[in-house]
Amino acid sequence: MRKYDEEFKREAVKKIHDGQSVASVARELGVAESLLHNWKRQAVEVISDAEREVFALRKKLREVEMERDILKKAALIFGRSG
């Protein structure tokens, strides 16, 4: 059984996302259609993981920005009273 590197898999999936049919990409690259379907599914899972991480990081950023704004206001209030 032949092993394919990640770059080969990414390029194959990119061809499918760019509009080529799975069958034509399989013929062009000499791989089974089932492999292409697996690679495409795995690529979606990786993207989903990345999207979840981006969402969590954006949420954390909003929280930190809120904390910063509160501290700025507190510094102004306490700075005036001194």
pLDDT value, residue 81: 64
The confidence band for 2, taking pLDDT boundaries of 50, 70 and 90, is confident
Residue 1, domain member (yes or no): no
Q: Is the pLDDT of residue 82 over 60?
A: no
- Tell me, yes or no, if the pTM score tops 0.85: no
Residue 70, domain member (yes or no): yes
Give the C-alpha distances (Å, rounded to integers) separating 60 from 48, 54, 56, 75. 18, 10, 6, 22
The confidence band for 53, taking pLDDT boundaries of 50, 70 and 90, is very high
Report how many domains make up the chain: 1
Residue 27, domain member (yes or no): yes
> For residue 21, what are the domain limits?
6-81
Residue 44, domain member (yes or no): yes
- DSSP-assigned letter for residue 18: T
Whole-number CA gyration radius for the chain: 24
